[in-house]
Amino acid sequence: MKQYADMSAAELSAVKKELEDAFSKYAENGKKLNMTRGVPSDEQLALCNEMLTCLSAEDYHSINGADCRNYGGLDGIPEMKKIFAELLDLTPDEVIVGGNSSLSLMFDNVAVNMSHGVREGQPWNSQGQVKFLCPSPGYDRHFTICKYFHIGMIPVAMGPDGPDMDMVEKLVSSDPMIKGIWCVPKFSNPTGIVYSDETVRRFANLKPAADDFRIYWDNAYAFHDLGSTKAVIPNIIRLCEKSGNPNMPHVFASFSKVSFAGASVTCMASSKSNCEYIRKRLTAQTIGPDKLNQLRHARFFKDAAGVMAHMEKHAVILRPRFRLVYETLRRELDGLGIARWTEPEGGYFISFDSLDGCAKRIVALCAQAGVALTPAGATYPDGSDPHDANIRIAPTCPPLSELRDALEIFCAAVKLASAQKLLS
């Protein structure tokens, strides 16, 4: 196997010609394949179909006696709080259950800190230009929240153990206008890496210049292991208690990729004291989340062990998809010196890095050949990848046969874009 960089111009041109011919045929085939989003597959959704009918005219009461069909309750029925608490190794009074979208919980949290301040603090929006640290590549929807609130975004490099903690510590301790950081600590979106114990420990021991600095700990893939050995990350809330900064972390979790992405339950977790503040706000904000859907979840999953057993069924479905990506990328691209990628043991994404300056071209080539990918750059603040190299691969939704076709085209696009780049 010869690296592209070691090829002569003639060799590269031959490669290029061959691939261009292949692409003409792909375009003619007119296939439409979609790898844009981290969307559960039909098979995964079917795992929960029983939830569609698990309540009845005889079963709609919560364990606390509340009629879940009626008004009442702001922060979740006891059984759902208990399940989240068990899963996150917290107590139920550290949990606030929300509706279908954990993104809303994060948005609201940022919104209220901007307009009303953190707890009794000064509103962020009255203090000057607020900034957030944005480990990148990261989740585009986090960055969209910052953009919406005109919050400055400072990219921080992501490594195999998490964000560059030297940089995080330096910035957070020196700049009081840095008010937050976005983290996806387990199977990070999109790199799939798991924060190391040391990374989490350093997060808990941050000494922010701003006393209203908050860690947005979006544990979106907390239960989403593919392998038989489960990845475990330290409990950020307990560690922050120990470090004397108990109110610093805001943890988010979601059943969007556990039950139904279109009818889920989500939660926010934080110190008891923070939760009390949030409940006060909820009184003004809402008559409360859908309780029947919480009860459906509690009936179907029963407890945290039920959730974990269910996640193993997801893993059985997803494992072959991730394996297919790894096998195809290795077979097609290993040794060519034109690509690097992660091979996570959980989550929903694989992060792919091409040669610098090739990502947009690869995505465009795929689009011409009928394969839709997440826009290049989407994983960086403002949609702008300084290296134009990162692409997020989302293998969960397409059936295996479609995924195979899509990956063939993707690898060809990587090769063609690389050859074009090296010849230019």
Residues lying near a second copy in the complex (CB under 8 A) are found at: 37, 39-40, 42, 45-46, 48-50, 52-53, 55-57, 60, 67-73, 99-101, 103-104, 107, 111, 114-116, 125, 141, 144-145, 147-149, 256, 260-264, 281, 283-293
Please give the DSSP secondary-structure letter assigned to residue 231.
P
Q: Please count the other Cβ atoms lying within 10 Å of the Cβ belonging to residue 367.
A: 13
Q: 353 to each of 175, 317, 375, 391, how far by Cα in Å? A: 31, 26, 13, 6
Report in angstroms how near the CB of residue 206 gets to a second copy at its nearest: 27
For residue 163, say if its preceding peptide bond is cis, omega within 30 degrees of 0.
no
Q: For 154, left (φ over 0), alpha (ψ -120 to 50), or beta?
A: beta
Cβ-based nearer residue to a second copy, 174 or 283: 283
Cβ-based nearer residue to a second copy, 113 or 418: 113
Radius of gyration of the chain (CA): 23
Contact status, residue 162 vs residue 193, Cβ threshold 8 Å: yes
Report in angstroms how near the CB of residue 411 gets to a second copy at its nearest: 27
Report in angstroms how near the CB of residue 330 gets to a second copy at its nearest: 30
Report in angstroms how near the CB of residue 255 gets to a second copy at its nearest: 12
Report in angstroms how near the CB of residue 252 gets to a second copy at its nearest: 13
Place of tokens 């190299």: 389
Tokens of 287: 């008559």
Residues 87-111: b if buried by 16+ CB within 10 A, e if exposed = bbebebebbbbbbbebbebbbbbbb
Report in angstroms how near the CB of residue 52 gets to a second copy at its nearest: 5
Report in angstroms how near the CB of residue 70 gets to a second copy at its nearest: 5
Cβ-based nearer residue to a second copy, 60 or 326: 60
Report in angstroms how near the CB of residue 328 gets to a second copy at its nearest: 25
User: How would you write 123-168 as a 3-class SS string?
Assistant: CHHHCCCCEEEEEECCCHHHHHHHHHCCCEEEEEEEECCEECHHHH
Cβ-based nearer residue to a second copy, 207 or 313: 313
Cβ-based nearer residue to a second copy, 48 or 83: 48
Cβ-based nearer residue to a second copy, 68 or 393: 68
Cβ-based nearer residue to a second copy, 114 or 158: 114
For residue 234, say if its preceding peptide bond is cis, omega within 30 degrees of 0.
no
Tokens of 370: 């009928």
Report in angstroms how near the CB of residue 287 gets to a second copy at its nearest: 5
Cβ-based nearer residue to a second copy, 163 or 288: 288
Report in angstroms how near the CB of residue 382 gets to a second copy at its nearest: 14
Residues of the chain by 3-state class (helix, strand, coil), percent to 5: 45, 15, 40
Q: Please count the other Cβ atoms lying within 10 Å of the Cβ belonging to residue 198.
A: 12
Cβ-based nearer residue to a second copy, 148 or 343: 148
Q: DSSP letters of 166-178?
A: HHHHHHHHH-TTE
Cβ-based nearer residue to a second copy, 52 or 367: 52
Element of type H or E holding 392: strand 390-393
